[in-house]
Amino acid sequence: MRAIVCGSISLLASPAARAQSLPSTTDESPEADVELRFQAFAQLGDRERAAGHLREAARAYRQAFNVRHDPVIGGRLGLVLVEGGRPEDGAELLLNAIHRAPSTTPAERAERKRFFEAHEVAREHGSWVEVIVSHAGARVTVDGIDRNDEGVEARGPRVHEQHG
């Protein structure tokens, strides 16, 4: 008589490996918490975009961007908006990424090129106004909305045109 043996093996991370994935007790500052939240949303956005889930990627990138106004994450959100058929909503984010995202490594330059190409698509769907403020710290508002959070330059608003 033959015996059939079935079994399953559970791979559990060692306590040391689990400890490395958790923030250390010395990093429990509010800044570390903000950085962890930012990274979690940014990585979720990257995974969702790679899986082709544009709506979920946009949601995750927007949450990351709300935690910290990072030009790379803003650019990725802009890319997803263009890819998802909402180029007019991605133009401002893409332009900011073109101006401010790092471009020292080949990967960063390639991503910046994608930001530029997507911005070219978005430009076809509207007009753009860019205001350079000559006095640092000046407040620029458009329709009562502060448009220069950093006190240097203001972008927007978009004016949508019908092309045809």
Is residue 43 located within the same domain as residue 77?
yes
Q: What is the pTM of this model?
A: 0.67
68 belongs to a structural domain: yes
pLDDT digit string, tens, across residues 94-130: 999 999 999 999 999 999 999 999 999 999 887 666 6
Nearest to 90 by CA among 73, 104, 106, 102: 73
Cβ proximity of 58 and 125 under 8 Å: no
Is residue 151 located within the same domain as residue 87?
no
37 belongs to a structural domain: yes
pLDDT digit string, tens, across residues 29-67: 889 999 999 999 999 999 999 999 999 999 999 999 999
Is residue 55 located within the same domain as residue 114?
yes
Is residue 144 located within the same domain as residue 117?
no
Is residue 116 located within the same domain as residue 143?
no
- Count Cα atoms within 13 angstroms, Cβ side, for 137: 0
Q: State residue 28's pLDDT score.
A: 74
Query: Residue 65's domain spans which residues?
Result: 29-125
Does 12 score more than 70 pLDDT? no
Q: Which residues does 98 contact at the CB level (< 8 Å), separation at least 6?
A: 75, 112, 115, 116, 119
Does 70 score more than 60 pLDDT? yes
Q: State residue 86's pLDDT score.
A: 95
Does 152 score more than 50 pLDDT? no
| CATH number of the domain that residue 39 is part of | 1.25.40.10
Neighbours of 4 (CB within 10 A): 4
